[in-house]
Structure 1
Amino acid sequence: MPGFPHGRPLHFNLFNNGSGHHEASWRLPGSYPLANLDIEYHERLAQLAESVMFDSVFLADHVALEGAARRPAGRIDPLTVLTAVARATTRIGLIATASTSYNDPFNLARRFAALDLLSGGRAGWNIVTTPGDASARNFGLDSQASHFERYQRADEFVSVAEKLWDSWEDDAIVADREAGVWADESKIHTIDHRGRFFSVRGPLNTPRSPQGHPVLVQAGSSEDGRDFAARHAEAVFTAQHTLADGQAFYADLKRRVKLAGRDPDGVKILPGIVPVIGSTEAEALELNAELDRLVLAESGRDRLARQLGLTPAQLPLDKPLPDDLPSEEEIEGDKSRFTLIVELARREKLTVRELVGRLGSGRGHRTFAGTPEQVVEVIEQWAREGAADGFNIMPATLPSGFELFVEHVVPILRTRGLIRSEYQGTTLREHYGLPRPPSRYAPRAASADAAPAGVAARGSE
């Protein structure tokens, strides 16, 4: 397929966000406001994505409850949900969000290893460094740690998790009934990690999983987030509103990955796209307008104020953003989302009310209302012009928006060779074309660590 990276189809992930990614989707007639809490709903949506050979499904997560009266806010722990989904599917990857700020490496590494084992090698971890004082107060803290410190902790957290996943060699289990030996203890290793944030002896008490490690996913686009992704991520979910921004992010992150001594093709960049689909462009635009009319402006302003480090009183609905906003350096929350929001408002000269409406449709991701053919044109353009290795599909309404995508957009993608027609493997790593990392403690991995200068061994530090 000329014009696309390596001539391969694109990667597609379904971001399951309950009743939809538009903030007002749950208010439409026929919507399902309890979708987040229904395991059969999660299973059916994953099965639909699997039927058209999507690489993965993804669940976000939060550890604080805000605005519960105004929109669906209750969530079930993603790892719990995806363990059930693993039993209802056979091939599709299962990516769960989990925070490095409010977990410990041993427990979280064990839970992800369990999901990978139970699913036959389909687990992925979306690594987040949770912002917000509300979250901190749920864990005995008065306020959030600084942005820089959250990423420092995340860096060590992931390093410890990888050591724990490596602590069992692939052939450690021998299950020799006659000799009475279940495992070769010489192939199970303590890690004896002692660092700034964690002291962990190991080994993990869960054997090595089918993928070696779950696929590591990351979504931060700040300077710290990009550097972290360059060191650790194997897939990146990102939010860019324009093609130019997408191209700039793609080129910058691939450059950082190369500088980190890794293969840029080993990091898949998947921008979010929020499709609103109609049989005609006018029909799609009308649905989008109906959704925007249902957004509660005051509720959206409250959330915007938190993101910008302001009070709601500082954001009159029918005026533009104040001129004297904090700088990104002063924001200790989500820096990349702060910058995206401010640039969108300034570039398009939006009032606060208009900005709330725009963010309600996709929280800064690329929102597009149009026909199936027009949606495909956007996808093809971003891939062809160096902004994406694939896409994080975020339907404005669920399940209806994804059902339309499957019925009308996927056949066009398939005709153009942009999406696979069948799975070539069984693991998420195989779907993404990623290598299986060896245990650093295995003899072959040890010899790789001793490779000549300039040859990077996976998992080395």
Structure 2
Amino acid sequence: MGDSTTIETSTYLAIGLGGDHLAALIADPRPASRLDGTGAAFVVAGIDRIDGSAPAGATVEPTVAAAFLATHAPGTAFLAAAAPHRDHPYNLARRVASLDHLSGGRSGLILGVRDGYAPGDTAWGGAGLTEGAPLGVGTTRDVAVAVQKLWQSWPQESIVADRESRIFARAEQIVHVDHRGAFDIAGPLTVPSTAQGSPVLAWYADSVPAVAAAGEVADLVVLGSGDPEPSGQDLPGPDLIAQAVGALDAAPSSRFAEDGRRPLLFVQVTVPGGHAAAALVAAVESAAAREGVDGILLRPGPDADIAEVVDGLVPRLADLGVVRTAEGRTLRDRLALPKPARLLAGARPVFPAPEPQPAL
């Protein structure tokens, strides 16, 4: 593309950290504070679990890493990476909701099809507790729906703490999810909904069918490279980006109540160690300028220094107007995402309505 000043609307910025990067930041969390200065909409913790990378030499469970790093980078939002390969939807929903409470609404979940660190070839089969479900787009979609229902099963507004009536919660508002699919879940979740209503739900996709499925259930989609560009740049090619935009535009979204709203699309750009800055900036500019692209996710490779990305590449992209600073108290605010559509209207309550009690 030409001069970057011709970009009319800059895109969101995100950063994806793999296992080695997470382990290094936990061993010495002082550099984590630099993430607050990037203006990134979010940071993905453990992206190497779901992007097809070979397992790193060290890693940390993503929700644990995100909870730890959120205290050292209090201005940064985090998406924890996971897949049904290892994690049951109920456990995922509970851990991410707890993370969202701890971080004050700065959290979410990004799903993939497979977990590079998990054994076996079935969803949740590695634990040996069930036969598991086949790994694939359909199973990941089912997990996304189940997690959304669980996040909505105990509304925060049900907690009233009314001293006069001595009613702590409107218990009749806590409902079963009664989800039937790859995983059968009765619910409800044992954690109330969060400051965001529901944590942000994302999907890592590297194919058009995965993007189409994500378009039905996710707040945002991160588009991986699939087959790397012939130029050697590890980012999705123009055809794949165009097809992904088309798939999102056509997907019948159940995530948003608003007509015509579709998930945000982030394009992943891998940053290799010792990268040629000019070529990489040009590649990011080109991807950001594609119609329908809402954000860029910079993915430092295992041999890349986070400091080079945070202190060098990100400020250059900001100065050129390629990316913009995301602001807001919650992650949903930063991405201008509405609360998701209600999925449990008419669901059966878990408890009867409480009766007011006489004063002591």
Question: Is the TM value for this pair above 0.5?
Answer: yes
Alpha-carbon offset, residue 17 of structure 1: 2.2
Q: Kindly tell me: are residues 227 and 87 of structure 1, through their superposed partners in 2, closer, same or farther at Cα, counting changes over 3 Å?
A: same
Partner letter of residue 259 of structure 1? A
Matched residues in 1 for 2:249 and 2:279: separation? 34
Q: Kindly tell me: are residues 238 and 441 of structure 1, through their superposed partners in 2, closer, same or farther at Cα, counting changes over 3 Å?
A: closer
2:202 corresponds, among 196, 207, 217, to 217
How far does the alpha carbon of each residue in 1:149-195 deviate from its partner, in whole angstroms, 9 at most, with x for none?
Answer: x33322222212111111123421111233221111232222223x2
Asked whether the 8 Å contact 1:46–1:85 carries over to 2, the reply is: yes
Asked whether the 8 Å contact 1:97–1:126 carries over to 2, the reply is: yes
Matching of residues 251-290 of structure 1 within 5 Å: 251-262=242-253, 263=260, 266-276=263-273, 287=274
How far does the alpha carbon of each residue in 1:33-57 deviate from its partner, in whole angstroms, 9 at most, with x for none?
Answer: xx6265253x444421221211111
Q: Which residue of 1 aligns with 2:349?
A: none
Alpha-carbon offset, residue 397 of structure 1: 6.0
How far does the alpha carbon of each residue in 1:78-127 deviate from its partner, in whole angstroms, 9 at most, with x for none?
Answer: 11111111222223111111122333222221111111111111112121
Matching of residues 147-158 of structure 1 within 5 Å: 147=135, 150-158=136-144
Q: Which residue of 1 aligns with 2:333?
A: 430
Matched residues in 2 for 1:231 and 1:143: separation? 27
- For 2:300, what is the secondary structure of its paired residue? coil
Q: Higher Cα Rg: structure 1 or 2? A: 1
Q: How high is the sequence identity, in percent, across the aligned residues?
A: 26
Matched residues in 2 for 1:97 and 1:134: separation? 17
Q: Which residue of 1 aligns with 2:298?
A: 393
1:39 paired to 2:18: no
1:406 corresponds, among 310, 329, 354, to 310
Partner letter of residue 107 of structure 1? N
Matching of residues 22-421 of structure 1 within 5 Å: 36=23, 39-41=26-28, 43-60=29-46, 62=49, 72-130=56-114, 134-136=119-121, 138-140=126-128, 146-147=134-135, 150-193=136-179, 195-240=180-225, 241-242=228-229, 245-262=236-253, 263=260, 266-276=263-273, 287=274, 369-371=275-277, 373-386=278-291, 388-396=293-301, 401-421=305-325
Asked whether the 8 Å contact 2:208–2:244 carries over to 1, the reply is: no
Unaligned stretches of 5+ residues in structure 1: 21-34, 277-286, 288-368, 444-461
Alpha-carbon offset, residue 245 of structure 1: 4.9
Matched residues in 2 for 1:90 and 1:436: separation? 23
Query: How high is the TM-score relative to the length of structure 2?
Result: 0.77
Query: How high is the TM-score relative to the length of structure 1?
Result: 0.62
Q: Which residue of 1 aligns with 2:353?
A: none
Q: Which residue of 2 aligns with 1:339?
A: none
Q: Kindly tell me: are residues 98 and 397 of structure 1, through their superposed partners in 2, closer, same or farther at Cα, counting changes over 3 Å?
A: closer
- Let me know the Cα RMSD of the aligned residues: 3.4
Count of aligned pairs between the two proteins: 324
How far does the alpha carbon of each residue in 1:191-227 deviate from its partner, in whole angstroms, 9 at most, with x for none?
Answer: 223x243332222111111222222222232354223
How far does the alpha carbon of each residue in 1:376-395 deviate from its partner, in whole angstroms, 9 at most, with x for none?
Answer: 22221221244843222123
Q: Which residue of 2 aligns with 1:25?
A: none
Matched residues in 1 for 2:32 and 2:120: separation? 29
